[in-house]
């Protein structure tokens, strides 16, 4: 029983990470109709910015470092919107913008290599250790992931439902012409959405440091699985990304009890292919 | 109030408007009629800044507005209700209305008052306030589009094919509402229509567009009696 609970918590924690990845690229997809192929590099960048520069480089306390990393990534998102997303998506086909995001990803990962070096490192005292609930042992990192991710998903829902900017973002994702006719500055709004997506990316990057350490490949697998979770839950639909992500996390962790754990990573993609064949619209796909 | 001075508009290499000039004065209703592809919608979109004229200027209250992006034009209190409604289908009716007031700063009480005003003119919208806008009928969606446009207290209202795809009974209602808005709010209205008879009968003046050229304009009453217009647009 206690193993079951421990595994469930680990699964849900990883599921929330996938869900956040799903949310992060769905935001950009809804706002621009583009897939951000550099999204895992955004996650990577956030983690390096936090751990490499703000904690180890400048010696800031974690809370302040998180704040700075998130803010830096937000500005980075806005800049990349005006340099890449907005100008390139005006061209005759989406292909230019898609290639633009791929290249942006390459530039980012090579910059990471140049700035912070190719060697992996970690933060020793950041979210380490475990907490005991009776006989159940839960790692601190997983618990923090669950709490923070729930807060972010709930916060985003409130943001989109109640704030003027949030509502304007929904308008832009539904109908850009009509949004501009309401007086919404569409390019600015899109930039803000990409900034928001970058904030979520930075948070993911920071949260997974205790699990994957800080290294160049830390985000590639969660990037892919987060993409899968979006498709499984219902593409382009935020609650879908959450459902898909958590399902994926839980299935993966229990699956690894049944099959050798080297094949653990295959499970999500097998699930993705099954969904693409049987139910391509995803679990919540036809609910919107 | 609004002055369009000889604009040329292109889609890529294709010229859609040739030296078109129109004027909309205070308090009047102006209709712009013409067949499909005459350039009526292009003209509206050029005024809103969605299309950029290559030559010519657009002035509003003495200020040049051609070249401004759409959200800047909207902030001058010009509201355009586009062809085919263009509502936000996955948002509720009330959210749609609230977004109509995006360009103006309203307190909570003012927002309530603005919503009530719209619900008074369009009682159907009140019944459906919490419903997704995309689930309503075409006529209701058109009502919503107009109500949404009125939320920002426009000083110039432009409607594009408000009668498109509506049942004849509803078309009558729609034009009643347009006339009422003009009278009650004292704002000028520019209306683009294929339903030439309806548009001309409620408007003070009419412009006639043909394949991107302005062919004639004048008092709606006079034009309605002219044989050419009768033959081409009024069915005999």
- Across the interface, whether the CB atoms of B82 and A175 are under 8 A apart is answered no
A144: in domain? yes
Long-range contacts (CB closer than 8 Å, 24 or more residues apart) made by A110-116: A112/A41, A112/A44, A112/A45, A112/A48, A112/A216, A113/A216, A115/A48, A115/A52, A116/A48, A116/A52, A116/A53
State the average pLDDT over residues A29-51: 94
A11: in domain? no
Partner residues linked to B210 by β-bridges = B213
**pLDDT at residue number B169:** 84
**Residue A264: pLDDT above 70?**
yes
Predicted confidence (pLDDT) per residue in A133-188, tens digit:
888 888 999 999 999 999 999 999 999 999 999 999 999 999 999 999 999 999 99
- For chain B, how many residues are written? 236
Which residues of chain B, if any, have pLDDT below 50? Answer: none
**pLDDT at residue number A287:** 54
Q: Which residues of B touch A183 (CB under 8 A)?
A: 71, 74-75, 102-103, 152
CB crowding A107-127: b at 16 or more within 10 Å, else e: ebbeebeeebeeeeeebeebb
A1: in domain? no
Pairwise CA distance, residues B69 & A114, whole Å? 40
Out of B50, B69, B102, name the one closest to residue A182 (CB). B102
- Name the pLDDT band for A2 (thresholds 50, 70, 90): confident
Total domains, chain A: 1
Cα B139 to chain centroid distance, Å, stands at 16
Pairwise CA distance, residues A224 & A141, whole Å? 21
- How do strand B189-193 and strand B156-160 relate by DSSP bridges? parallel
A282: in domain? no
- Parent domain of A214: 17-218
With CA atoms as reference, the chain B residue closest to A166 would be B99
**Residue A47: pLDDT above 60?**
yes
A275: in domain? no
A9: in domain? no
ipTM: 0.89
A8: in domain? no
- A–B: how many Cβ contacts below 8 A? 60
**pLDDT at residue number A129:** 87
Task: Specify the higher pLDDT residue, A12 or B167.
Answer: A12
**pLDDT at residue number A223:** 93
A196: in domain? yes
Q: Which residues of B touch A (CB under 8 A)?
A: 48, 50, 69-71, 74-75, 79-80, 82, 86-91, 95, 98-100, 102-103, 148, 152
Residue B32: closest CA among B233, B230, B194, B228: B194
Mutation target among A183, A234, A240, A285 for the B interface, most CBs of B within 10 A: A183
With CA atoms as reference, the chain B residue closest to A175 would be B88
Pairwise CA distance, residues A15 & A9, whole Å? 10
Predicted confidence (pLDDT) per residue in A52-73, tens digit:
999 999 999 999 999 999 999 9
CA distances from A127 to A124, A131, A272, A274, B79 (A): 8, 11, 31, 36, 53
**Residue A20: pLDDT above 60?**
yes
**pLDDT at residue number B205:** 95
Greatest C-alpha distance within chain B: 54
Does the pTM exceed 0.80?
A: yes
- In order of their start, the domains of chain B are 1-76+154-235 (3.40.50.300), 85-152 (no CATH)
């Amino acid at each position: 029983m206690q193993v079951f609970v421990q595994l469930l918590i680990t699964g849900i924690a990883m599921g929330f990470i996938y869900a956040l990845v799903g949310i992060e690229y769905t935001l950009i997809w809804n706002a621009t109709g583009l897939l951000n192929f550099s999204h895992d590099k955004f996650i990577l960048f956030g983690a390096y910015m936090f751990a490499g520069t703000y904690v180890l480089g400048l010696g800031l306390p974690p809370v302040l470092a998180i704040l700075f990393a998130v803010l830096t990534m937000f500005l980075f998102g806005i800049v990349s919107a005006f340099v890449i997303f907005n100008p390139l998506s005006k061209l005759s086909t989406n292909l230019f913008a898609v290639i633009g995001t791929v290249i942006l990803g390459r530039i980012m990962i090579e910059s990471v290599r140049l700035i912070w070096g190719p060697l992996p490192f970690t933060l020793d005292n950041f979210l380490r250790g475990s907490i005991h609930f009776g006989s159940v042992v839960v790692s601190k990192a997983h618990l923090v992931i669950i709490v923070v991710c729930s807060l972010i998903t709930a916060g985003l829902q409130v943001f989109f439902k109640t704030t003027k900017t949030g509502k304007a973002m929904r308008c832009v994702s539904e109908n850009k012409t009509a949004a501009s006719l309401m007086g919404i500055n569409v390019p600015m709004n899109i930039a803000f959405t990409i900034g928001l997506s970058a904030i979520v990316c930075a948070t993911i990057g920071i949260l997974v440091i205790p699990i994957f350490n800080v290294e160049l490949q830390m985000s590639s697998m969660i990037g892919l699985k987060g993409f899968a979770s979006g498709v499984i839950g219902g593409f382009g639909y935020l609650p879908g990304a959450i459902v898909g992500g958590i399902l994926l996390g839980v299935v993966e962790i229990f699956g690894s009890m049944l099959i050798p754990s080297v094949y653990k990573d295959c499970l999500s993609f097998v699930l993705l292919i099954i969904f693409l064949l049987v139910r391509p619209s995803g679990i919540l796909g036809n609910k919107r | 109030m609004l002055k369009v001075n000889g604009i040329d508009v292109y889609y890529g290499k294709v010229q859609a408007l040739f030296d078109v000039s129109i004027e909309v004065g205070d308090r009047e209703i102006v209709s712009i009629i013409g067949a499909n592809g005459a350039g009526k919608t292009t003209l509206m979109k050029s005024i809103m800044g969605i299309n950029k004229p290559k030559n010519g200027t657009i002035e509003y209250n003495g200020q040049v507005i051609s070249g401004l992006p759409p959200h800047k034009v909207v902030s001058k209190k010009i509201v355009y209700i586009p062809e085919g409604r263009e509502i936000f289908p996955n948002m509720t009716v009330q959210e749609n209305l609230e977004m109509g007031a995006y360009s103006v700063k309203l307190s909570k009480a003012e927002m309530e008052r603005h919503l009530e005003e719209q619900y008074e003119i369009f009682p159907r919208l009140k019944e459906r306030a919490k419903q997704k806008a995309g689930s309503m009928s075409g006529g209701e969606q058109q009502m919503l589009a107009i109500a949404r446009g009125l939320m920002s207290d426009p000083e110039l209202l432009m409607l594009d094919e408000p009668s498109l795809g509506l049942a004849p009974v509803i078309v009558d209602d729609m034009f009643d509402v347009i006339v009422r808005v003009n009278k009650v709010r004292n704002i000028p209205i520019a209306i683009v229509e294929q339903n030439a008879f309806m548009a001309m009968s409620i408007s003070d003046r009419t412009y006639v567009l043909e394949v991107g050229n302005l062919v004639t304009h004048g008092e709606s009453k006079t034009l309605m009696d002219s044989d050419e217009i009768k033959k081409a647009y009024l069915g005999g």
